[in-house]
Amino acid sequence: MADKQPACMTCGSQGLCGGKGLLTLKEGAWKNNPLAIQMLGICSALAVTNRLENSLVMGAALIFVCVGSNLFVSLLRNVTPHRIRMIVEVAIIATFVILFDQFLKAFYWDMSKQLGPYVGLIITNCIIMGRAEAFALQNPPVLSIVDGVANGLGYAIVLAVIGFFRELLGSGEVMGYPILSSEWYEANQLMILAPGAFFTMGVVIALFNYLKGPEPEENK
């Protein structure tokens, strides 16, 4: 994925981001949305979106790990030997994931049980690895942080949308509060199970494609 070069006007080229902050943010969160456009990180998106609360926590986890990993990979980019760079990236990502997991277990125990192994699986989340390789290795730390935030946010938003609909249609609740009364709405349990996940994700990505409009030739 080549990142476009033209600078934005937010803080000019003297600012911390060298003028590319807003552009990076927009690219990561919308135009190059990791889930809907790059099709990365699908596994966890499908698994944890059975409830909105889980989706939000997972989104937060990804932002945390992506920012942390981007920051450190970028800081170390000039001293890391080329041959072991992938292992170094994995080590840094794994460290941040474990940090998040430990704090979850300590302070948000119920959520840790809900998310189960999927927190650990953030390590293999292609988004984080992808950003480390494609962006953090070639860009300064502050910009890398912005990119981490952007991609994490893009992921979190799509996750929230999917989680919202799956929980609403699958159990009549949102964040645990009953919205669709069980008196007239028979919850479609299939939405909470695997097929519902695939289906909602397909529809959301199609929606994204529709909203973005037809792609200019070079991007497809």
Partner 1 sequence: MRSLLGFASGDLEVKGSAYTLGYAAVLGAACALLLTGVASFTAPYRRANADADRKRNILTVLEVPYPKKVSSEELVTIFETNVREEKSPELEIYRYVPSGDSVGKETVAVHFEGPGLWGPIRGFLALDTDMRTIRGITFYEQEETPGLGGEIAADWFLKSFVGKEIVDASGQAGIIIKGGGDQNALNEVDTISGATMTCDKVEELLNNVIEKIVQEKN
Partner 2 sequence: MSDTSAIVILIAAILTNNILLTNFLGMCSFIACSGQIRTAMGLGTAVTFVLTMTTMINYCIYHFILVPGGLEHLQFIVFIAVIAAFVQLVEMFVERFSPKLYFALGIFLPLITVNCAILGASLFMVIRGYNFLQSVGFGFGAGIGWALAIILMAGLRQKMRYSNVPEPFRGVPIAMIVTCVLAMAFMGFAGMVTIQ
Contact flag: residue 211 with partner 1 (CB under 8 A): no
Q: Which residues are registered as beta bridge partners of 178? A: 173
Q: Which residues are registered as beta bridge partners of 173? A: 178
Count of residues in contact with partner 1, rule CB under 8 A = 21
Contact flag: residue 91 with partner 1 (CB under 8 A): yes
Contact flag: residue 1 with partner 2 (CB under 8 A): no
Of residues 103-142, those binding partner 2 (CB under 8 A): 116-117, 120-121, 123-126, 129
The span of 36-44, 89-97, 143-151, 206-214 binding partner 1 (CB under 8 A) equals 89-97
Using the rule CB under 8 A, which residue among 1, 87, 175, 207 binds partner 1?
87
Phi, psi of 94, rounded to the nearest 5 degrees: -60, -40
Q: At what angle do helices 141-171 and 194-212 cross, to 10 degrees?
A: 120
Contact flag: residue 210 with partner 1 (CB under 8 A): no
Amino acid in the structure at residue 70: N
Contact flag: residue 84 with partner 1 (CB under 8 A): yes
Encode 153-169: b = buried (16+ Cβ within 10 Å), e = exposed.
Answer: bbbbbbbbbbbbbbbbb
99 binds, among partner 2, partner 1, none (CB under 5 to 8 A by kind): partner 1
Contact flag: residue 175 with partner 1 (CB under 8 A): no
Residues 6+ apart with CB under 8 A from 167: 50, 51, 52, 173, 174, 175, 192
57 binds, among partner 2, partner 1, none (CB under 5 to 8 A by kind): none
Of residues 174-193, those binding partner 2 (CB under 8 A): 190, 193
Alpha helices by DSSP H, listed for 76-140, are 85-107, 109-115, 126-131
Q: Which residues are registered as beta bridge partners of 177? A: 174
Q: What is the DSSP letter of 192?
A: T
Contact flag: residue 209 with partner 2 (CB under 8 A): yes
107 binds, among partner 2, partner 1, none (CB under 5 to 8 A by kind): partner 1
Quick count: other Cβ atoms within 10 Å of Cβ 13?
Answer: 11
- Residue 103's Cβ-side half-sphere holds a number of Cα atoms within 13 Å equal to 10
**What would you report as the CA-atom Rg of the chain, rounded to the nearest whole angstrom?**
19
Binding stretches for partner 2 (CB under 8 A): 39-44, 46-47, 86-87, 90-91, 94-95, 97-98, 101-102, 116-117, 120-121, 123-126, 129, 190, 193-199, 201-203, 205-207, 209-210, 214
Point out which residues bind partner 1 (CB under 8 A): 79-81, 83-84, 87-88, 91-92, 94-95, 98-99, 102-103, 105-107, 109, 189, 193
